[in-house]
Structure 1
């Protein structure tokens, strides 16, 4: 598979519910009149080069919300490749932060038509609701679809996901744009992936689970992006697809390992005691390692104060960030803990592109946690997974020292030369 952003990682199991894709392949030509994606399915099954453009805003693009290295476009590529083992896929992410359908039309020739895709997945509306009148949004969406079809591509329409109520995006107003997207898809007889409906159902049935799908009020995290990929992949293939396990994060220590290999100084941001432990353990592995240390004063911080402190990290341009979980974090309410720890990690991550490494460390000082601490540590691990990150933590029954746990973790990372 060729891709704009290469997919690297361990083998990922994807469940194909119902019957085999290949058992259905001979029927695709017969079903083509009723199935607008039959030709795409046939190309995937036959191993013909298939270009898929994911065209949208920051919820489509690769930003810190999902870990800054990949997004649902990449996960969809993984799911389709495993669903169609012969597929020759090129996944092209054309998501841009802040963009509306107005911006989309201004760049559609360069970012979509010029790529000559076989399929375009269109997902706009989250920013239109704040800046573009509904009538203009409807007209622009129709024009986007026509332009893609004129270029020879099949089109899938995705509604924006449901959000937390904000002044800029009241849900009642967002629902009007969602209804417009549904109506436009129906008018063109296009497949629709109704993310808004799915997200509202999850929020109603499992409020905690919904909060752990989101990175902030409007952006899903990687856990949410995996769900997007499942829903869109199921629409493309015509049968349910579900991830059994999360794909392994990409290049967890790539920046650090490259600098260690070149014997360059590592600018490290860490809180005590890891401002000492991390350099000590890396120097055991690389005696010539050098560090420019910025101490994160987490011991005195609430979880909200830690999130505020983290706002400065991008301006510091580090190479390795070790986000802490402050001792006082366990005193926060569950809602506050989830919200603010999301922001601790959001601000620890680069805006996009993996410009530095981020390795959260959960408290290692004591092997004996209270029931509340165990609950919050479980929530923290799920939040970290939503940022597409690995972390260092104490396993149940683990009695080794913090130094030993950290040292063994770094030694076990294959990315370090």
Structure 2
């Protein structure tokens, strides 16, 4: 299915204009190339993509795959809740001050709630003109398609998406048509499209990879796959920095890990002071656990360890996706990651799973990867006690 997603993304990208001059600079590899991506929360680094990176950071990885010799920096200038009106106000400070060779612009998701479409188009044209006057090329980007809500009806989003295409045509700009890429997936398999989203409007990391692949193709005219790119490393930067500095740490953990996380960390740092707060799961449905996850942000822990039980039923895949994703979403800080979050697959604590539990685990694994979070797993044939398994896994993550 991932191959199908990439193929559909590639077909959508064929509608874009010829490669930008930035492509020649990347291919030459002789001078630093600066790209700035401006937009709203879908561009910025927030919970829905794991809190450590979004499509601008993935675009840098994609372009480095295509041009390993390139001297490239991609700056993320996305701010939650922003519109084209806000983008215009901060364009000099957040974008043009960096003297970019290329500026990517992705707005619309918030504009469609309160900005008249004519004002939206006028704002885009002014942003384009100012970027060009500053010596930068511009790539307009459509946003992803969404789960329809009263606030964001699909017809209204389609209207703003077409407005972006119309502006691009009027001023002779290429478009990275992410909306078309998402809709191509939707037309082929609605369930696969849903797995690109973390909530009703925000893509998860799987969606951000599709964004980055689509932008890269629009910039250089080549396809690239980010399928094998795993979570960023080190996977637990916050807690290891505190332990290394001799500072106490607070952990919020589901069973059975609340009993073993402290001794596992103390095997790595013998003097570590670890306070563990159990996260009860017994008798709770996945929907109830999603509700309990909402208290995490107010707790401000150093580490959250999610270990959803294997026996949670996977009857309604869409509802399971929603609740499981929101357990992870609420466990992360709203913006850039302020504490560490890791997820344990059921088989790590329960090596022998039933057929239904294995199905649960396989689907959960997709959701965790799409959230750009690290997983605690047990290799086939590994019969080590959970404390040893966790200690080994943590030792492998230690910077």
Matching of residue 269 in structure 1 with residue 252 in structure 2: yes
Match in the other structure for 1:370: 354
Where does residue 130 of structure 1 map in the other structure?
113
**1:29 maps to which residue?**
none
Q: Which residue of 2 aligns with 1:44?
A: 26
Instruction: Say if 1:36 and 1:400 are closer, same or farther in 2 by CA, change over 3 A.
Output: closer
SS in 2 for 1:330: coil
Q: Provide TM-score, normalisation by structure 2.
A: 0.92
Contact 2:311/2:357, CA 8 A, preserved across alignment: no
Identify which range, 291-300 or 107-116, moves more after superposition.
291-300
Return the match for 2:282 from 286, 299, 304.
299
Answering whether residue 75 of structure 2 is matched by residue 104 of structure 1, we say no
Look up the match of 1:398. Answer: 382
CA contact (8 A) 2:19 2:219 kept: no
**Aligned pair partner of 1:341 in 320, 324, 331:** 324
Aligned-partner Cα distance in 1 for 2:396–2:230? 18
1:324 aligns with 2:312: no
Separation of aligned partners in 2, 1:398 and 1:334:
30
Q: 1:354 aligns with which of 337, 340, 356?
A: 337
Q: More deviation in 169-178 or 252-261?
A: 252-261
**Cα–Cα, structure 1 residues 412 and 57, in superposed 2: closer, same or farther, change >3 Å?**
same
Q: 2:192 aligns with which of 209, 213, 216?
A: 209
Residues 244 and 323 (structure 1), Cα distance of their counterparts in 2 relative to 1, 3 Å cut: closer
| Contact 1:58-1:95 at 8 Å conserved across structures | yes
Deviations 1:357-404, CA, capped at 9 Å, x for gaps: 111112234222122211111111111111211111233443333222
Q: Is the 8 A contact 1:62 1:68 kept in 2?
A: yes
Runs of 4+ in 1 over 6 A off after TM superposition: none
Residue of structure 1 equivalent to 2:368: 384
Aligned-partner Cα distance in 2 for 1:365–1:45: 48
> Which residue of structure 2 aligns with residue 310 of structure 1?
293
Over the aligned positions, Cα root-mean-square deviation in angstroms equals: 1.8
Tell me what 1:54 maps to: 37
Give the stretch that moved more between structures: 294-303 or 337-346: 294-303
Unaligned runs of 5+ in 1: 1-15, 18-33
In structure 1, how many angstroms separate the alpha carbons of the residues matched to 2:36 and 2:301? Answer: 33
Q: Secondary structure at the match of 1:355?
A: coil
Q: Is the 8 A contact 1:163 1:217 kept in 2?
A: yes
Distance 1:353 1:258 in 2: 17
Alignment of 1:20-169 (within 5 A): 35=18, 37=20, 39-47=21-29, 48-169=31-152
Maintained 8 Å contact 1:199/1:210: yes
Structure 2 segments unaligned to the other structure (5+ residues): 1-5, 8-16
Contact 2:304/2:331 (8 A) holds in 1: yes
Check conservation: 2:342, 2:374, Cα contact below 8 A.
yes
Match of 1:22 in 2: none
Number of residues of Structure 1 aligned to a counterpart in Structure 2: 383
Deviation at 1:237, TM superposition (A): 1.0
* Per-residue Cα deviation, 1:34-58 (whole angstroms, up to 9, x for no partner): 8461x21221122211110101111
CA distance, structure 1, for counterparts of residue 28 and residue 227 of structure 2: 25
